[in-house]
Amino acid sequence: MTTFTPTTSEEVLSSVTSAVVEETPIEILGHGSKRGIGRPLQTEHTLDLSKLTGVTLYEPADLVLSAKAGTSLAEIEKLLAENGQQLAFEPMDYGPLLGGEPGKGTIGGVLAANLSGPRRLKAGAARDHILGINVVSGRGEAFKSGGRVVKNVTGYDMSKLMANSWGTLAVFTDVTFKVLPAAETEVTLAVRGLLDDAAASAMALALGSSAEVSSAAHLPERIAARVAGGALGSEAATLLRVEGFGPSVTYRVAALKTLLGKAGPLEEISGEASRLIWQDVRDIMPFADGSEKPVWRVSMTPTQGHQMVLTLRMQAAVSAFYDWQGGLVWLRMEEGDPEAALLRGLLRKHGGGHATLVRAAPAHRAALPVFEPQAPALAALSQRLKQEFDPRNLLNPGRMA
């Protein structure tokens, strides 16, 4: 097995070209923080992008940042924070959940997995902020799409196309993202002691108000104790985050308190304490227990999430918590069986959605569809895209299907 460790875009092209000529599969790898997601790979070569690093352009006034694909996300976030800016889509860190170190994700991996966080309700995901890419396809061809200006149009959709492709269409060498100013003030209003159905109603009420809630999550009893070092205690917590200028945040939080005054006891959390809570929600810390108990990421209609979980609990032992107003459900199967057919069957009965197995033993990941199976028409479209970009199926073969 050969490991290529390129330091330039030209070396990436040379490595992929070599694999194309030999017709040998190749695994695409950054720092490996998401290596445990998807079907296990069996490849002769590994393309390790961890040395392809460096911020190549940062213009704070223009809200644009470009970097080599292997650049650490932690390094980029530190640079942005020093200038009062951020990646508004709040990309999560899978490292702790998968038994790795925190802060090992790369900026290329952010786009490859189309990462986002609790602020997705307001800010979207990586694909909504990408401006341009430089890549090498599975044909051994280098090309670029988009550019370095926010108003760029040419090739913009090609950049979005590569989001969530998990390294199966092309290898990123450079990416350019739009960045935004960080919020001056952050306050979280926690409604305590609600059951899942009441929490869903409270979150829907808050999101439908004029308070401009940027994040909404529900941590059931005992799950709440596993975030922010136990600062919330074990009582269930329904969390509503409000961000912006100080006076505006104060006014909107007051409006939420009036709106939700009868829902349950209210607790106001601000500043660093609020940030730590949302960071742990983002990074699935309640389930980052060092085990291989299967963890599912389920995206579905927000009003149906708690009902699906209730039905699932009648047939399987499962722990759950909710993000995106209940539209993102994190599930941990307590008895070790991924229960894929059961879960996806319940999804169809509750309005549809997508279930992705993000943590499980390799044998489980090899034996079932890790990503949500696509409808025939969409699967055919995906196959045509794969044929265009990687006709020999050399890049991360079998990872997604």
User: What average pLDDT does range 87-104 have in this prediction?
Assistant: 96
376, 377, 383, 385 alpha-carbon torsion, rounded to 10° = -160
Q: What is the pLDDT of residues 197-248, one digit of tens each?
A: 999 999 999 999 999 999 999 999 999 999 999 999 999 999 999 999 999 9
Q: What is the pLDDT of residues 33-62, one digit of tens each?
A: 999 999 999 898 999 999 999 999 999 999
What is the percentage of the chain residues whose pLDDT exceeds 90? Answer: 94
**Is the confidence at residue 107, as pLDDT, over 80?**
yes
Sequence-ordered list of residues with C-beta below 8 angstroms from that of 151, at least 6 positions apart, any chain: none
* Structure confidence at residue 3 (pLDDT): 93
User: How sure is the predictor about 151, in pLDDT bands with cuts at 50, 70 and 90?
Assistant: low
User: How sure is the predictor about 298, in pLDDT bands with cuts at 50, 70 and 90?
Assistant: very high
The tokens 């992705």 sit on which residue?
A: 356
Question: CA angle 285-286-288, nearest 5°?
Answer: 55
Decide if 189 contacts 266 (C-beta within 8 A).
Answer: yes
- Kindly list the structural domains of the chain, giving each domain's residue range(s) and its CATH number in brackets, ordered by start: 1-179 (3.30.465.10), 183-282 (3.30.70.2190), 284-374 (3.30.70)
User: How sure is the predictor about 154, in pLDDT bands with cuts at 50, 70 and 90?
Assistant: low
* Structure confidence at residue 341 (pLDDT): 94
- What does pLDDT average to over the chain? 95
* Structure confidence at residue 150 (pLDDT): 59
* Structure confidence at residue 152 (pLDDT): 55
User: What average pLDDT does range 190-196 have in this prediction?
Assistant: 98
Entry pTM: 0.95
User: What average pLDDT does range 85-103 have in this prediction?
Assistant: 96
Alpha carbon of residue 145 to chain centroid: 23
